[in-house]
Chain A
Amino acid sequence: MSTDPALTRRALLARGAGGLGLLAMNGLLPAGEPTPAGAWAARPPHVAAKAKSVIWLMMEGGPSAVDLFDPKPELQRRHGQTVAGIETHFGKPGPLMRSPYSFKQHGQSGLWVCDKLPALARCADDLAMIKSVWTESSNHAPAMYQMNTGMPRPGFPSVGSWIGYGLGTPNQDLPGFVVMSGGVMKGGSLNWSAGFLPGAYQGTLLRSGGAPVLDLVRPKDLTAARQGELLTLTAALNAEHRRARPGPAESDLDARSASFDLAARMQSAVPGVADLAKEDAATRTLYGLDRGGRAAGFGTKCLLARRLVERGVRFVQLYPQDEWDAHNDLNGNHNGGCGEIDVPIAGLLTDLKRRGLLDSTLVVWGGEFGRMPVSEQGGGRDHNPHGFLMWMAGAGIKAGASHGATDEIGWKAAVDPVSVHDVHATILHLLGLDHRRLTWEHNGRRFRLTDTSGTVIRNILA
Chain B
Amino acid sequence: MVLIAAATLCVAGDSAPTFTAVRPLLEEHCLRCHAGDKAKGGLDLTTRERLLAGGTSGAAVVPGDAGASRLWRQTAHREEPYMPPRQKALPPAAQALITAWIDAGVPYDRRLVPPPVTDNGPHWAFRPLSASTPPKSAKPPAEWPRSPIDAFLLAALDEAKLAPTPAAGRERLLRRVTVTLIGLPPTPEELAAVRADRAEDWYERVVDRLLASPHFGERWARHWLDVARYAESDGYESDGDRPGAWHYRDAVIRAFAEDLPFDHFVRRQLAGDELEPDQRDAIASTGFLTSGPLVTTSGDGTPRENAQNRANEIDDMVSTTAAAFLGLTVGCARCHDHKFDPIPTRDYYRLSAAFTTTMRVGASWRQGKEGSNDEGPRTPLRIADRQATPAPTWVLARGEAAHRQDEVAFGVLGALTPGGDASAWMSRPTAVKTTFQRSALAAWLCDSDRGAGALTARVLVNRLWQHCFGQGLVRTPNDFGTQGDRPSHPALLDWLAGELRRGGWRMKPLIRLLVTSAAFRQDVTWDAGKQRVDPDERLLWRRRPQRLDAESLRDAILATSGALRREQFGPAIKPWIPVEARSGRDKDVLPRPKEDSPGQWRRSIYLFTKRSLLTPAIDGFDGANPNASCGRRQVSTVSTQALYLMNDPFVRRQAGLFAARLAAAGDDDARLRLAYTLALARLPTTTESAAALRFVRAGGEAGWTDLCHVLFTLNEFAYVD
Our pick among B3, B628, B643 for the contact of A266 (Cβ within 8 Å) is B643
Bound Cα distance from A433 to B634, whole angstroms: 24
Bound Cα distance from A139 to B238, whole angstroms: 11
- Tell me which residues across on chain B come within 8 A of A73, comparing CB atoms: none
The interface stretch among A125-133, A223-231, A341-349, A401-409 is A223-231
The verdict on B29 contacting chain A, using a C-beta distance below 8 Å, is no
- Tell me which residues across on chain A come within 8 A of B587, comparing CB atoms: 188
Q: Are A259 and B639 in contact (CB under 8 A)?
A: yes
The verdict on B372 contacting chain A, using a C-beta distance below 8 Å, is no
Q: Are B3 and A187 in contact (CB under 8 A)?
A: no
Q: Are B80 and A437 in contact (CB under 8 A)?
A: yes
- Tell me which residues across on chain A come within 8 A of B687, comparing CB atoms: 240
The verdict on B56 contacting chain A, using a C-beta distance below 8 Å, is no
Bound Cα distance from A142 to B86, whole angstroms: 31
User: From residue B687, how far is it (CB to closest CB) to chain A in Å?
Assistant: 7
Q: Are A190 and B235 in contact (CB under 8 A)?
A: yes
The verdict on A300 contacting chain B, using a C-beta distance below 8 Å, is no
Bound Cα distance from A190 to B531, whole angstroms: 40
Interface size class of B (residues with CB under 8 A): 35 or more
Q: Are A218 and B578 in contact (CB under 8 A)?
A: no
Q: Are B584 and A186 in contact (CB under 8 A)?
A: yes
The interface stretch among A29-37, A351-359, A388-396, A410-418 is A29-37
Chain B, residue nearest A439 (CB): B80
Bound Cα distance from A272 to B293, whole angstroms: 39
Q: Are B715 and A25 in contact (CB under 8 A)?
A: no
Bound Cα distance from A255 to B637, whole angstroms: 7
User: From residue A296, how far is it (CB to closest CB) to chain B in Å?
Assistant: 19
The verdict on B625 contacting chain A, using a C-beta distance below 8 Å, is yes
The verdict on A444 contacting chain B, using a C-beta distance below 8 Å, is yes
- Tell me which residues across on chain A come within 8 A of B527, comparing CB atoms: 247
The verdict on A182 contacting chain B, using a C-beta distance below 8 Å, is yes
Bound Cα distance from A164 to B641, whole angstroms: 18
User: From residue A157, how far is it (CB to closest CB) to chain B in Å?
Assistant: 10
User: From residue A436, how far is it (CB to closest CB) to chain B in Å?
Assistant: 10
The verdict on B647 contacting chain A, using a C-beta distance below 8 Å, is yes
- Tell me which residues across on chain B come within 8 A of A245, comparing CB atoms: 524, 526, 545
Our pick among A188, A211, A229, A253 for the contact of B584 (Cβ within 8 Å) is A188
Our pick among B584, B706, B713 for the contact of A226 (Cβ within 8 Å) is B706
Q: List which B500-556 residues lie within 8 A (CB) of chain A.
A: 524, 526-528, 531, 537, 544-545, 547
- Tell me which residues across on chain A come within 8 A of B312, comparing CB atoms: 153
Q: List which B5-58 residues lie within 8 A (CB) of chain A.
A: 5-8
Q: Are B638 and A142 in contact (CB under 8 A)?
A: no
- Tell me which residues across on chain A come within 8 A of B714, comparing CB atoms: 234, 237-238, 241
The verdict on B133 contacting chain A, using a C-beta distance below 8 Å, is no
- Tell me which residues across on chain A come within 8 A of B293, comparing CB atoms: 153-155
- Tell me which residues across on chain A come within 8 A of B707, comparing CB atoms: 233
The interface stretch among A63-71, A191-199, A285-293 is A191-199
- Tell me which residues across on chain B come within 8 A of A441, comparing CB atoms: 86
User: From residue A152, how far is it (CB to closest CB) to chain B in Å?
Assistant: 9
Across chains A and B, the number of contacting residue pairs, with CB separation under 8 Å, is: 303
Q: Are A38 and B4 in contact (CB under 8 A)?
A: yes
Q: Are B620 and A263 in contact (CB under 8 A)?
A: no
Bound Cα distance from A253 to B721, whole angstroms: 12
A37-B637, A215-B640 given; A32·B5 CB < 8 A = yes
User: From residue B340, how far is it (CB to closest CB) to chain A in Å?
Assistant: 8
User: From residue A208, how far is it (CB to closest CB) to chain B in Å?
Assistant: 12
The interface stretch among B214-222, B298-306, B384-392 is B298-306
The interface stretch among A48-56, A83-91, A100-108, A308-316 is A83-91
The verdict on B613 contacting chain A, using a C-beta distance below 8 Å, is yes
Q: Are B585 and A184 in contact (CB under 8 A)?
A: yes
Of the candidates B80, B627, B631, the one having the most CB atoms from chain A within 10 angstroms of its own CB is B627
Residue interface mask B549-592, A partner, CB < 8 A = 1: 00000000000000000000000000000111101110100000
- Tell me which residues across on chain B come within 8 A of A240, comparing CB atoms: 687-688
- Tell me which residues across on chain B come within 8 A of A257, comparing CB atoms: 715
Bound Cα distance from A4 to B716, whole angstroms: 28
A139-B301, A249-B531, A258-B3 given; A181·B581 CB < 8 A = no
A207-B580, A259-B642 given; A190·B612 CB < 8 A = yes
Bound Cα distance from A199 to B549, whole angstroms: 13
Of the candidates A227, A241, A443, the one having the most CB atoms from chain B within 10 angstroms of its own CB is A443
The verdict on A236 contacting chain B, using a C-beta distance below 8 Å, is yes
Q: Are A27 and B5 in contact (CB under 8 A)?
A: yes
Bound Cα distance from A258 to B691, whole angstroms: 21
The verdict on B1 contacting chain A, using a C-beta distance below 8 Å, is yes
Our pick among B329, B613, B713 for the contact of A234 (Cβ within 8 Å) is B713
Q: Are A252 and B300 in contact (CB under 8 A)?
A: no
The interface stretch among B64-72, B100-108, B270-278, B477-485 is B477-485
Q: Are B3 and A444 in contact (CB under 8 A)?
A: no
Q: Are B635 and A139 in contact (CB under 8 A)?
A: no
- Tell me which residues across on chain B come within 8 A of A30, comparing CB atoms: 5
Q: Are A182 and B526 in contact (CB under 8 A)?
A: no
Residue interface mask B676-705, A partner, CB < 8 A = 1: 000000000001100110010011001001
The verdict on A41 contacting chain B, using a C-beta distance below 8 Å, is yes
Bound Cα distance from A246 to B542, whole angstroms: 14
Q: Are A181 and B332 in contact (CB under 8 A)?
A: no
Q: Are B611 and A87 in contact (CB under 8 A)?
A: no
Q: Are B1 and A184 in contact (CB under 8 A)?
A: no
Q: Are B484 and A182 in contact (CB under 8 A)?
A: no
- Tell me which residues across on chain A come within 8 A of B706, comparing CB atoms: 222, 226, 229-230
A214-B640, A437-B80 given; A31·B7 CB < 8 A = yes
Our pick among B237, B637, B699 for the contact of A252 (Cβ within 8 Å) is B637
Q: Are A199 and B237 in contact (CB under 8 A)?
A: no
- Tell me which residues across on chain B come within 8 A of A190, comparing CB atoms: 235, 611-612, 627
Q: Are B531 and A247 in contact (CB under 8 A)?
A: yes
- Tell me which residues across on chain B come within 8 A of A34, comparing CB atoms: 3-4
Q: Are B297 and A210 in contact (CB under 8 A)?
A: no
Bound Cα distance from A211 to B312, whole angstroms: 40
User: From residue B535, how far is it (CB to closest CB) to chain A in Å?
Assistant: 9
- Tell me which residues across on chain B come within 8 A of A226, comparing CB atoms: 699, 702, 706
User: From residue A322, how far is it (CB to closest CB) to chain B in Å?
Assistant: 11
Chain B, residue nearest A35 (CB): B3
Q: Are B638 and A199 in contact (CB under 8 A)?
A: yes
Our pick among B302, B625, B715 for the contact of A242 (Cβ within 8 Å) is B715
Our pick among B2, B476, B647, B688 for the contact of A216 (Cβ within 8 Å) is B647
- Tell me which residues across on chain A come within 8 A of B625, comparing CB atoms: 155, 193, 195-196
- Tell me which residues across on chain A come within 8 A of B713, comparing CB atoms: 230, 234, 260
The verdict on B710 contacting chain A, using a C-beta distance below 8 Å, is yes
User: From residue B75, how far is it (CB to closest CB) to chain A in Å?
Assistant: 16
- Tell me which residues across on chain B come within 8 A of A119, comparing CB atoms: none
- Tell me which residues across on chain B come within 8 A of A32, comparing CB atoms: 5, 7
- Tell me which residues across on chain A come within 8 A of B4, comparing CB atoms: 34-35, 38, 41
The verdict on A20 contacting chain B, using a C-beta distance below 8 Å, is no
- Tell me which residues across on chain A come within 8 A of B6, comparing CB atoms: 31
Chain A, residue nearest B341 (CB): A444
Bound Cα distance from A149 to B489, whole angstroms: 38
Bound Cα distance from A189 to B581, whole angstroms: 9
User: From residue A433, how far is it (CB to closest CB) to chain B in Å?
Assistant: 11
Q: Are B627 and A87 in contact (CB under 8 A)?
A: no
The 9 closest A-B pairs by CB, nearest first: A188-B612, A185-B584, A155-B627, A181-B583, A38-B3, A444-B479, A263-B642, A141-B237, A90-B299
- Ordered by A's residue number, 14 sampled pairs between the chains whose C-beta atoms are within 8 Å are A38-B4, A90-B299, A138-B305, A154-B293, A184-B585, A188-B239, A189-B613, A196-B625, A198-B636, A199-B621, A215-B616, A237-B710, A441-B86, A443-B476
Known: A153-B293, A247-B527, A444-B479; 8 extra A-B contacts, CB below 8 A, are A34-B3, A34-B4, A138-B302, A139-B295, A141-B295, A188-B611, A260-B646, A262-B639
Q: Which residues of A contact B (CB under 8 A)?
A: 25-27, 29-32, 34-39, 41-42, 46, 87-91, 137-142, 153-155, 172, 175, 179, 181-190, 193, 195-200, 204-205, 207, 210-219, 221-222, 226-227, 229-231, 233-234, 236-238, 240-242, 245-250, 252-264, 266-267, 437, 441, 443-446
